[in-house]
Amino acid sequence: MSSLIRRLVRRSGRFLPLLLAVPLAWSSAALAQGLTLEQAMREALVRNQDLRAARSAVDAARGRLEQAGLWPNPRLVLSNETGRPFNNAGEYTRSVGVSQDFPIAGRIGRAKDVGRVDVARALAEVNDVERRLLGEVAASFYKVVTLDQQIKLRDRLIGIDE
């Protein structure tokens, strides 16, 4: 029985550094400090770069929605014509005009509808990223807890065996 335990400890001893080298290393250190699952989830939501990118996509979609409700910008038209190239006696015309496009057929309303759909899709993406992240954090946290318990049990068995 004791040789079996020693072999298990030796085998797990070889792979344990590899397991702790992956992103679970911060979890084991945090677990040693008494970090709870809720704190780990909260920390992951604050520090995750993919989630920040998804949230910035929501902001961009909201900006496009706001822009969709605006009328096109007016244009200033300036004109200066002269008759000098044709050797005319000082004839010239100058004009200033303002041109404004008026949207017809509900284009602004349809653009707003498309903008609302874009915002909803971006929010759904944020929710999906959060859901996946929290699932990964919970899985990693429980793996670390399981590994910690296994290490404690093996140490206890080694102590009993000695």
CB 126 within 8 A of CB 55: yes
Question: What pLDDT does residue 33 have?
Answer: 61
Question: What pLDDT does residue 29 have?
Answer: 52
- What SS3 state is found at 48? coil
What's the rounded Cα separation, in Å, for the pair 147 and 154?
Answer: 10
Question: What pLDDT does residue 32 have?
Answer: 52
Phi then psi dihedrals of residue 120, to 5 deg: -65, -40
Question: What pLDDT does residue 86 have?
Answer: 67
Question: What pLDDT does residue 114 have?
Answer: 92
Q: What's the CA dihedral at 141, 142, 144, 147 to 10 degrees?
A: 180
Residue 152 C-alpha from the chain's centroid: 38
Q: How far is CA 139 from CA 32, 126, 142, in A?
A: 17, 20, 5
* Residue that is written with structure tokens 């509808």 in the block: 113
Question: What pLDDT does residue 52 have?
Answer: 92
Q: pLDDT tens per residue, the chain (162 residues)?
A: 344 444 444 544 444 333 333 344 444 555 556 788 899 899 999 999 989 999 999 999 999 999 888 888 899 999 988 876 666 666 778 899 999 888 888 888 888 999 999 999 999 999 999 999 999 999 999 999 999 999 999 999 999 988
Question: What pLDDT does residue 151 have?
Answer: 94
If one counts every other C-beta atom within 10 angstroms of the C-beta of residue 154, the result is 16
The dotted CATH code for 2-161 is 1.20.1600.10
CB 126 within 8 A of CB 56: no
